[in-house]
Structure 1
Amino acid sequence: MAERDRIDDVLSAVGYGRWQISILMATTVANILPLHYMTSSLLSAPMSFRCFALGSSNSSNSTLISERDSLGTAWFNDECLDPPDSDLAVAAHSARSALSAVRPLTRHATGLPSCPEIEYDSSVYSITVISEFDLVCEREHLRPFFQMVITIGAIAGCFAGGSISDSMGRKKAMQIGCMLGLPACLAMAFVPWFPVVLALRFVTGISVRMVMLPTINLTMETCPPRYRTLIGMFMGLPYSVCVILFALVGYFISNWRYLQLIWTLPFLVMAPITLFVKESPRWLVQSGSGKEAVAELAEAAKMNRVELPSHLADYLEKMKEDTCGFSGGEKEKVPLKQLLATTISSSGEYLRSPAMLIIIFVAPMMYFLMCLLYNGIILNVNNFTSTNPFQYIAMLSVFEILSVLLTTPVNQMVGRRHVIGSTLLLSGLLFFVVMFVPDEIWYAKWVLVMISFFLAGGGYQVAFMYVPELFPTMVRTKGYAMVTLAGSLGQCMAPIVTDLLAQQAWWAVGVSLGCSGVIASFLVFALPETKNIPLPETIQDVEDRRNNNVKVRTEKHKRALTVTDSQHSRY
């Protein structure tokens, strides 16, 4: 490693204390924000319905209500009607005002030819996006869009968050993300138009990624190496705990707008925290701001009540003179044309590195499949159980918390790749098993799905901290954004699998999620191990890490061959 890479030594001497409190707070809140990606499991949960011809009055209001009550949920058959002739529709429409008094209070007009009037089963949810905007029959294809649009926004947020974080700093990117997310989340709880709701949800997807990506990188870059695994693993616990809270709140508050308003609170808390959070010294050094980096590290030592050794103090003094950024040139404003040429040149440098090429192509594929599996299990709630979705979501979160707690010591012992590979493989295989369990043995399905999510949650959390460790500092957020973008595509595919494909074939969900876990488990072993290895600062560091890993594996192989030869020589 280059001399400027000794920031790890400084952070080790500084330790973990008061200086990192604001960063830890930001990390805790930022890791709650992804709840917006899974809220569709309750906000846009499908509700059973019954369609009526426009202005129909085959029986009195009291008779209809008594018949509905006697049949219970069987009253709602989820069946659309044949579109009526235009003449009949006009005649029925002219009689609507005269017949409105005899219609049940829960019926309302939809404007849909195959479901002119509709009544929803409100026994589980009082109102969701589906029932408010009547996303049934002809509009049924719009149902997955409520989930997909936020993941499309997340894809855009990966580009924006990665570029802003690496060019303007981690702190600035977090602040811009909050400025976008807070008003978008608030407005979504009040606007009455579905296209506007989708647009605001798109902006929410952008803002969540713009806050999360730089926050995670900031946490890893300011954490002493000996605490990096522990902090990285426990970053996911706030999310898991709040999922339980989300299910609990959803049980008592079944109106999607109130739930949306409640889950604006994380942005409301995050916004003021970003004013006090510290900038990453690593980013400051790599961007050519050596004096600011030294000031941050000196403040860190002071706040943590640590006196740096003389050789590290000398290193910080030397760092003050460092005004050379990643390109190695003097930090100065350059023309746009020259900046574009430099960017293209640096991009070619990454593509010429064999180690970086493997990371650039393999890591996104692995993350795509892993996110499809992880989010598919969560969004499969409405296929798995329609009577108790709150319990399903809460139990998933409990199992994820247990997974993080149990996976953390294993991660410290065996390394990132083995944990990710083994958990995803077993999780995918279990989903194949679930396909062949009869519906009558429902408790066996529950157990297998929960164990599958237990394993997927552990692998997901390790990958969450593993991916930023793969990339050098100046492109760490861009690299993480690229991989997260692929994960967002996996999230985007999840509602298609669990909603649309599930209606076409009974095996679609099991095969899709099972294959995702198995294939992802094999891909991860093409990536380098990062356990107990300093964060890379340059491309050369990434190459050195790969060469060292290859060298270690070669030496282990030679030792194994030596042992085998010695055993054969005995005979």
Structure 2
Amino acid sequence: MVEFGEVLKVIGDFGFFQKLVILALACQNVLLPIFFCSFLFIQSDPERHCDTDWILRADSNLTSGEQLNLTLPREEDGAFSRCRMFVPVDWDIGAIREYGLNETTGCRDGWVYYDTLYDATIVTDFDLVCDRSNLAQVAQTVFMAGLLAGSFIFGPTAEAYGRKRSTQVPVVLLLVFVIVVGVSPNVYVYMASQFIVGAALGGYRINSTILATEWIGVTKRSLASCMSQMFSSVGQCAMAGLVYAIRDWRTVQYVIAGGQAFILLYTWWTPESARWLLEQGRTEEANELIRRVAAINKKKIPEYLLDEVTGEREVQSGSIKALFTSTVLMKYLFIISFAWFSLNLGYFCLVLNVGKLGLNIFLVQFLFGITEAPAHFLCVWVLELIGRKKSLISSLLLGSFFCLLTLAFPRDSAVVITALVTTGKLFLNWGGSVCMVYIQELFPTSVRYKSIHNMRFKIFSIQCAFGFGSELRSFRQTAVGFGSIAYRGAGLLSPLLNILAVYHWSIPTIVFSSLTLTSGALGFLLPETRRKELPDSTREAEGNRKVTNQKAGSGFNAVEHTSTKSTKL
């Protein structure tokens, strides 16, 4: 039997086909950060006063100053109240001037906003001020909850219905619901739509990376994750420019929909993963796809090679529970998931505070993006130069160090703090790319369950989300699913952690930096996986370090692990 990695070397493990697939799948990532703009580019406490046009019925010739003096109470500092008004009366203007108004109430007819940075935001359109001001942060939390839900929903679908379908469906959902977001009549429809948008984003990001990775050889495997991150950085810059030019959040949603429609046009030609097709026993489709890739890469493939790679496969008997009974694999899963959780918690705490660093929000957002784009080019090179383990440890430790360093400066040092935050965010984002590559290389491909159940009835269940009960399930996909849940769970908690800043501004930084520092130290317990074929069995995954040493001494096609492979392609 021939491993699929050997077939890739024959048909081209990083030819024109692979470059085209990476480019097509990564283009969507330019739009991903822009979906955040409606709740990032807002003024949470805009200048405002209650709408008191009721008094114009008594005298339509009142000046704006007279209207405010007669209808609004004053605060202790002498300014007009921004959340209270006098109760409307049916008196004539003379009586109102003579006796005045004393009884106050909340703003009954909405607010009048002025001196705002934007033409329209969700805060001004939905009146998320005063006693409703917390709904802006609730909207952030709902969106993050959607990202987490996407990990539960689209993780199992990638295994049951393929990588291709699990990337196409989110693209359709994004196109539909970004429009629904733009036409939302109230904040509740907005949040429900954003939840679905978040779920689609979470599903696309994880499954598109897996799809690209499974077509790439060992020497360039890290490129899929790093390119998606790099395109995402470009999207951050584009978001700053787009919102700067278009200050109406609804109009921005329609522009995003236009870009999403372009992505949808070519998404249906995305190829399926041949690895997944072989796992499903769909050998004819895999054969045809392999031949097509060889033709695109201008390579010739011997027919006997296809016969060997798509022949009868010996599959390891057992259950996905083996993942949880293996001490080594559970250790790997905990460490990599904790690292992913910690860095994403810090990343989103910084992103959601983009407007609170003391500098122009458009400038800060542009810096966030422009500094990350070249870094992800370097990430590809560094991953191959020093390996996954050292890359992960260094990115976690450096990210936490620069974030903690912000606490040493007074809060009015906007330039210094912005520079440190931008650098810390760069390393945290870098660490996310490393985690995405690392987690796929630590765990084996697949096992067959002892119990056979109908996937149709299991696919949407919690069992299936964690990998129990299906006929054929990937350890790798399960591990990525758990890591993604930790990753998205951190995003869900980040708005709540930022709320703790009301007690002291340093609390969020101390919490996420400490967690990131701890996860960096735990990284020393992981093995190195650089330039290794993806493990096919639990034995190979548990003996990853030993196998690496053997192969390092005799090249990429070195002797196999002493134990018999239980899963072969």
TM-score (normalised: structure 1) = 0.80
> Which residue of 1 is the match for residue 542 of structure 2?
543
Q: Match for 2:430: what amino acid?
A: G
Residue 481 of structure 1 aligns with which residue? Answer: 481
CA drift at 1:165? 0.4
2:26 paired residue number:
28
| Structure 1 letter corresponding to 2:239 | F
Structure 2 residue 298 is matched with structure 1 residue 300: no
The match for 1:451 among 407, 423, 426 is 423
Alpha carbons 1:372, 1:493 under 8 Å: kept: yes
Taking the aligned partners of 2:108 and 2:398, their CA distance within structure 1 comes to 44
Say yes or no: does 1:175 pair with 2:168: yes
State whether residues 230 and 374 of structure 2, in contact with CA within 8 Å, keep that contact through their aligned partners in structure 1: no
Structure 2: how far apart are the matches of 1:186 and 1:192?
12
**What does the per-residue CA deviation read over 1:408-449, in whole Å, with 9 as the maximum and x for residues that have no partner?**
322221111212211221221222221231234332222222
What secondary structure does 2:380 align onto? Answer: helix
Q: 1:210 aligns with which of 200, 203, 206?
A: 203
Residue of structure 2 equivalent to 1:70? none
**Counterpart in the other structure of 2:63:** 61
The residue aligned with 2:559 is: none
Segments of 5+ residues of structure 1 without an aligned counterpart are 68-74, 100-110, 329-344, 554-571
Partner of 1:14: 11
**Equivalences, count:** 504
Alignment of 1:148-227 (within 5 A): 148-227=141-220
Aligned counterpart, 1:143 = 136
Which moves more between the two structures, 543-552 or 119-128?
543-552
- Report SS of the residue matched to 2:216: coil
- Residue equivalent to 1:517: 516
Task: Supply the distance in 2 between the matched residues of 1:199 and 1:21 (Cα, whole angstroms).
Answer: 37
**Which residue number in structure 1 is paired with residue 470 of structure 2?**
none
Which has the larger helix fraction? 1
1:313-357 per-position Cα deviation (integer Å, ceiling 9, x unaligned): 4231133333x58566xxxxxxxxxxxxxxxx6221221222321
Mapped contact 1:114–1:138 kept (Cα < 8 A): no
Report what 1:531 is aligned to: 530
- Alignment RMSD, CA only? 3.4
How far, CA to CA, are the matches of 2:316 and 2:281 in structure 1? 9
Q: 1:421 aligns with which of 393, 412, 415?
A: 393
Equivalent pair of 1:374/1:457 in contact (CA under 8 Å): yes
Alignment check: 8 A CA contact 1:432 1:510 kept: yes
1:78-93 equivalences under 5 Å are: 81=83, 92-93=87-88
1:462 corresponds to: 434
Judged with a 3 Å threshold, the aligned counterparts in structure 2 of structure 1 residues 232 and 506 are, in CA distance, closer, same or farther, namely closer
What do residues 507-552 of structure 1 show as CA deviations (whole Å, max 9, x unaligned)? 1232123223212312333333221111123323312314446999
Aligned to 1:48: 46
Out of 224-233 and 48-57, give the one that drifted further.
Answer: 48-57
- Shift, 1:400, TM fit: 0.8
Tell me, yes or no, if the aligned pair for 1:416 and 1:529 is still in contact at 8 Å.
yes
Deviates more, 1:464-473 or 1:296-305: 464-473
Shift of 1:9: 1.4
Opposite residue 418 of structure 2, the aligned amino acid is W
Q: For 2:526 and 2:255, how far apart are their aligned partners in 1? A: 40
Is the 2:278–2:310 contact (alpha carbons within 8 Å) kept by the matching residues of 1? no
**1:41-83 CA distance string (max 9 Å, x none):** 535442423344866979953437999xxxxxxx9989755x7
Tell me the equivalent position of 1:108. Answer: none
Amino acid at match of 2:395: T
Cα distance, 1:95 vs structure 2:
4.9
- Return closer, same or farther for 1:48/1:64 CA change in 2, 3 Å cut-off: farther
Aligned to 1:369: 342
**Deviations, residues 157-214 of structure 1 (Å, cap 9, x unaligned):** 1111110101111011122222322211111111212111111111111111222222
| Distance of 1:326 and 1:61 partners within structure 2 | 83
| 2:333 alignment counterpart | 360
CA distance 1:118–1:300, shift in 2 (3 Å): same
TM-score of the superposed pair, with normalisation by structure 2 = 0.80
Tell me if structure 1 keeps the 8 A contact 2:172–2:264.
yes
CA apart distance, 1:98: 8.7
Residue type of the partner of 2:306?
L
Kept after mapping to 2: 8 A contact 1:47/1:131: no
Query: What is the CA–CA distance in structure 1 between the aligned matches of 2:92 and 2:27, rounded to whole Å?
Result: 51
Identical columns (%) = 22
Shift in Å at residue 97 of structure 1?
Answer: 12
> What is residue 408 of structure 1 aligned with on the other side?
380
Per-residue deviation, 1:471? 2.9
The verdict on how the C-alpha distance between 1:293 and 1:442 changes in structure 2, with shifts beyond 3 A counting, is same
